[in-house]
Chain A
Amino acid sequence: MQVCMTNCPTLIVMVGLPARGKTYISKKLTRYLNWIGVPTKEFNVGQYRRDLVKKYKSFEFFLPDNEEGLKIRKQCALAALNDVRQYLSEENGHVAVFDATNTTRERRETIYKFGEENGYKTFFVESVCVDPEVIAANIVQVKLGSPDYVDCSNDEATEDFMKRIECYKNSYETLDETLDKDLSYIKIMDVGRSYLVNRVMDHIQSRIVYYLMNIHVTPRSIYLCRHGESELNLKGRIGGDPGLSVRGKEFAKSLAQFINEQNIKDLKVWTSQMKRTIQTAEALGVPYEQWKVLNEIDAGVCEEMTYEEIQENYPLEFALRDQDKYRYRYPKGESYEDLVQRLEPVIMELERQENVLVICHQAVMRCLLAYFLDKPAEQLPYLKCPLHTVLKLTPVAYGCKVESIFLNVEAVNTHRDKPENVDISRPPEEALVTVPAHQ
């Protein structure tokens, strides 16, 4: 559903020792919320500290009796909270994610009061993990490459970081069932083996909990591609339910070969319920599942038209679309914004799954890609998703590695860039200047 904007902004407060995945969760959650249309921003206190204290020396900065260190760290927290206030109260932000250890009850009370004073709902996300292997892996993934350790060897960095964690342990007060019974929070244990959820207050908190309970960190790859070139692609027509062209069928075979070579464990294959994706999947010779929600964007009255025909029959609509391609809805059709809403269950299920190949369509693929690569709404409708090209996405550190693999079967270009002139009174040539060639 279109997330109902409550009047209250939400302040999400991360809690946990270093290397417990707080920043990983903050960034991922922020990416998800922005994608579903909830303006969200993360505020990493460590970043404020790095901006203030130009050069990190050692774990001693974090010793509990280092007065100078404590003073600076408190200053940074307050600076971050000030920016939070500006974002939520002045810049139309809806959710702020306050990413810091927040391991003492005292610090959390300060933040909670800050939230109350400003009319924010506060929701805590605590990550608890005692598995030394997980912690070691986290350190390798994201700490060794941190600006703090740019001049250190891996061993030096690891040793220093472990001592840094020790600095926090003595004063760590985990969220308690009794003492914190009136707070709203989720406690994530052992990277999602179990969860404790307390007093979920509203819709957005419920969605956040559901999301956090579905994500995992098991290594895997997601493959995104479009159907093979279709008969309508060749003619420059949008939408419809055509079958594959001769080259499209070649692509399907190449895709089968590519998938075989990749040797992917337990690969799931998903398609839409349109012929062109189903025909592509058929060539793979493996079971696949059809999702109606993966169908291409509905172009309403413009279905099966060429861009030239749209310009001739609906020049106003055509211009309006160029002015705001993300929100523009085809008459009797859909917008990209509608598409994102429709695709949310796909994203949720992709998060639950491991290795998946999604064979879909141009607009659909743009939406999915924007989620994984954190592209904003303005860029989303212009992401390049050419035919016969597979994008292999692999989660790494805080983001996603992308490999683009063109499977050496020629196809038409279906990408139409935004033309310079988007005025409703523009001459047809200026509207059509970016239309790719077709039969």
Chain B
Amino acid sequence: GSWASYMTNSPTLIVMIGLPARGKTYVSKKLTRYLNWIGVPTKVFNLGVYRREAVKSYKSYDFFRHDNKEAMEIRKRCALVALEDVKAYLLEECGQIAVFDATNTTRERRDLILNFAKENAFKVFFVESVCDDPEVIAANILEVKVSSPDYPERNRENVMDDFLKRIECYKVTYQPLDPDAYDKDLSFIKVINVGQRFLVNRVQDYIQSKIVYYLMNIHVQPRTIYLCRHGESEYNLVGKIGGDSGLSPRGKQFAQALKKFIEEQEIVELKVWTSQLKRTIQTAESLGVTYEQWKILNEIDAGVCEEMTYAEIEAKYPDEFALRDQEKYLYRYPGGESYQDLVQRLEPVIMELERQGNVLVISHQAVMRCLLAYFLDKSADELPYLRCPLHTILKLTPVAYGCKVETITLNVEAVNTHRDKPSLDSVSLAAQPWFFPFSKISA
């Protein structure tokens, strides 16, 4: 497993706290995506989903009134069912972290959860989101509540009205975490006004420290991240992997086309990052803007296979070649790296991308696959096979709980460097890059 996964010894239950429309689900999903990416198996348990299962049709905010006894019973039962699923995930399904996404606004509810955790030897870390800015709350409601299954007719004004009344129902019984007395021995972070201020109490271990650092670096300002590879390189043309070659003539054309594209996009304060290999630097040079070189954005190190073609690798290291196809994420080139190593190496890039605004990252095939997997929540199995062709830009824009992706192919031809996982029962020539026509698949 990954280092982060090793460092997480007991299972941890992250418990969200906050009134509705305070970003709990947003934070739950984002945090879960990050933790899974760094190799810590994590899952979200959203109480609203359980509630919608139990009560097929939502009628109105009346369901959430604290004096609605029948509804209170249903809601409590849902919580217990959700906790049972948490238990199964952490104890039987190899999960390491469960994120319990619900309002959890009363001490009574939190004490119930703490007892449950104690019975099962889970560590508990609370994440409370406190926000009193009415504009933020209104924006949240429009962004994610209008399209909720609770409001199929999607009439904005009705939704806003009902939802605000729903929030009022919770306010009556809301008991925020009290760091000075009642909750002083709990481990938690209180996020105030979307990250303007934080109160952090009793961080117990490595993974809680990483979670706190992550939460303190993310923001919700609209922005766009552009990912692309360097222009086609000389080595790409001859099918050699790795190395430090310069751009081919078509690669240089791409750099020009990229410059034009960036100008047309009219991006406010765009930061440009490259690796420290020639091909990304040459690509950035054409843009005529300042750019920053990161060594950790360098392509995956293929060790003894550096600067070889796939045919040469298969001939010289047939066993290694086969092993890689069996387990591409974990496979480490002798004297080189694995995709898993690459993810660990790239973690500071992801952390800084979270802090930044508009960024263009000019990198490499394996590197781009890792970054893309983070933004699009792709598993370790899918990651090494994500399609990141040359001369194509992926434009990522955060929206609601996820990321919108636009693929922009700049009209400059390039070789295909994508190699699909070979299937055992057929040789798919279409799956191979053009310069590698016949592969021998051992059955």
Whether A196 sits at the interface, judged by CB under 8 Å, is yes
Contact of B197 among A1, A4, A196 (CB under 8 A): A196
Hey, which chain A residues are within 8 Å of B318, CB to CB?
none
- Please pick, from A1, A332, A341, the residue contacting B352 in the complex, using a CB distance under 8 A: A1
List 21 A-B pairs, Cβ < 8 Å: A1-B349, A2-B294, A2-B295, A177-B197, A181-B197, A193-B201, A193-B202, A194-B179, A194-B201, A195-B199, A203-B352, A206-B217, A210-B213, A213-B203, A213-B209, A289-B6, A292-B341, A332-B306, A341-B296, A349-B206, A352-B209
Q: Say yes or no: is B355 at the interface (Cβ < 8 Å to chain A).
A: yes
The reply to whether B209 and A214 contact each other, CB–CB distance below 8 Å, is yes
**Are A209 and B201 in contact, with the CB atoms below 8 A?**
no
With both chains docked as a complex, state the minimum distance between the C-beta of A60 and any C-beta of chain B, in angstroms: 36
Where chain A touches its partner, the secondary structure class is mixed
User: Which A residues are CB-close (under 8 A) to B244?
Assistant: 332
CA A210 to CA B179, docked complex, whole Å: 20
Which residues of chain A from 233 to 276 have any CB-CB distance to chain B below 8 Å in the complex? Answer: none
Partner among A194, A206, A291 whose Cβ is within 8 Å of the Cβ of B3: A291
Closest B residue to A338 using CB positions: B295
Interface string of A203-240 (1 = CB under 8 A from B): 10010011001100000000000000000000000000
Please measure, in the bound complex, the distance between the C-alpha atom of A194 and the C-alpha atom of B206, giving whole angstroms: 16
Which residues on A sit within 8 Å (CB–CB) of B174?
A: none
Q: Mark A377-402, 1 if CB is under 8 A from B, else 0.
A: 00000000000000000000000000
Q: How many A-B residue pairs have CB under 8 A?
A: 66
A282 to B7, CA, bound (A): 20
In the complex, chain B residues whose CB is within 8 Å of the CB of A293: 344
Interface string of A313-333 (1 = CB under 8 A from B): 000000000000000000010
- Mask, B173-199, CB within 8 Å of A = 1, is 000000100000000000000001111
Q: How far is the CA of A210 from the CA of B349 in the complex (A)?
A: 16
The reply to whether the CB of A163 lies closer than 8 angstroms to some CB of chain B is no
| B348 close to A (CB within 8 Å) | yes
Given contacts A196-B200, A213-B200, 16 further A-B contacts (CB under 8 A): A1-B349, A1-B352, A181-B197, A193-B201, A194-B202, A195-B200, A195-B201, A197-B197, A197-B216, A198-B198, A203-B355, A206-B213, A206-B216, A292-B341, A293-B344, A352-B209
Residue of A nearest to B340 (CB): A292
Contact between A198 and B202 (Cβ–Cβ < 8 Å)?
Answer: no
Query: Count the A residues whose beta carbon is within 8 Å of the partner chain — how many?
Result: 28
Contacts of B206 in A (CB 8 A): 349, 352
Q: How far is the CA of A425 from the CA of B292 in the complex (A)?
A: 34
Chain A residues in 8 Å Cβ range of B197: 177, 181, 196-199
C-alpha gap A332/B303 in the complex (Å): 10
Complex-state Cα separation, A213 to B6, whole angstroms? 21
A162 at the interface (CB under 8 A from B): no
Tell whether B212 is near chain A: CB-to-CB under 8 Å: yes
Interface string of B297-325 (1 = CB under 8 A from A): 00000000010000000000000000000
Q: Write the nearest CB–CB distance from A288 to chain B, whole angstroms.
A: 12
Q: Is the CB of B295 within 8 A of A341?
A: yes
For the complex, is A200 an interface residue (Cβ under 8 Å from B)? Answer: yes
**Which residues of B lie under 8 Å from residue A196 when comparing CB positions?**
197-200
* A4-B292 contact, Cβ under 8 Å, with A196-B197, A199-B197: yes
Alpha-carbon gap, A193 to B199, bound state (A):
11
- Who on chain B is nearest to A334 by CB? B295
Point out which of B197, B201, B292, B352 has the most chain A C-beta atoms below 10 A from its C-beta. Answer: B197
Is A199 in contact with B196, judged by CB distance below 8 angstroms?
Answer: yes
Of chain A, the residue at the smallest CB distance from B6 is A289
Name the residue of chain B whose CB is nearest to the CB of A200: B216
Bound complex: CA A177 to CA B196 (Å): 11
Against A, the Cβ 8 Å flags (1 = close, 0 = not) of B153-183 are 0000000000000000000000000010000
Give the shortest distance, in Å, between A328 (CB) and chain B (any CB): 14
Question: B341 touching A1 by the CB < 8 A rule?
Answer: no
Complex Cα distance, B204 from A213, in Å, reads 11
Chain B residue numbers with a CB within 8 Å of A197 are 197-200, 216
Number of interface residues of B (CB under 8 A): 30
Name B's A-contacting residues (CB within 8 A).
3, 6-7, 179, 196-203, 206, 209, 212-213, 216-217, 244, 292, 294-296, 306, 341, 344, 348-349, 352, 355
Give chain A nearest CB distance to B66 CB in angstroms: 29
- B348 partner, pick from A1, A198, A214, A292, beta carbons under 8 A: A1
By a CB distance below 8 angstroms, the chain B residues around A206 are: 213, 216-217, 355
Shortest Cβ distance from A268 into chain B, in angstroms? 11
Closest beta carbon of chain B to A110's beta carbon, Å: 24
Contacting residues, chain B, for A203 (C-beta < 8 A): 352, 355
* A384-B352 Cα distance, complex, nearest whole Å: 35
Cα–Cα, bound, A274→B3 (Å): 16
Least CB distance from B386 to A in Å reads 23
Q: Chain A CB within 10 Å — which of B244, B295, B352, B355 has the most?
A: B295
Q: In the complex, what residue of chain B is closest to A303 when comparing beta carbons?
A: B335
Q: Which residues does chain B contribute within 8 Å of A291, judged by CB atoms?
A: 3
A292 contacts across to B, CB distance below 8 A: 341, 344
A1 touches B296 (CB 8 A): yes
B198 proximity list for chain A (CB < 8 A): 195-198
Nearest residue (CB) in A for B205 is A352
A181–B7 CA distance with the chains assembled, in angstroms: 36
Q: Please report the C-alpha to C-alpha distance between residue A169 and residue B385 in the assembled complex, in whole angstroms.
A: 63
Evaluate whether A209 and B216 lie within 8 angstroms (CB atoms) in the complex, with A195-B200, A197-B197 already known: yes
Interchain residue pairs A-B with the least CB separation, the first 7: A194-B201, A1-B348, A197-B198, A195-B200, A198-B197, A210-B213, A196-B199
List A contacts of B179 (CB < 8 A): 194
Report the bound CA distance from A193 to B201 in whole Å: 6
Tell me the nearest residue of chain A to B210, going by C-beta: A210
CB distance from A51 to the nearest CB of B (A): 38
Closest-by-CB residue of A relative to B202 is: A193
| Cα–Cα distance between A195 and B352 once the two chains are bound (Å) | 22
Q: How far is the CA of A196 from the CA of B306 in the complex (A)?
A: 48
Residues on A with beta carbons closer than 8 Å to the beta carbon of B203: 213
Q: Give the distance in Å from the alpha carbon of A289 to the alpha carbon of B197 in the complex.
A: 36
* Cβ B341 vs Cβ A213 within 8 A: no
**CB-CB < 8 A to B296: which residues of A?**
1, 341
Bound form: Cα–Cα A184–B266 in Å: 32
In Å, the complex CA distance between A107 and B249 comes to 62
Instruction: Tell me how far the C-beta of A287 lies from the nearest C-beta in chain B, rounded to whole angstroms.
Output: 11
Least distance between A383 CB and chain B CB atoms (Å): 23
List, in ascending order, chain B residues with CB within 8 A of A210's CB: 213, 216
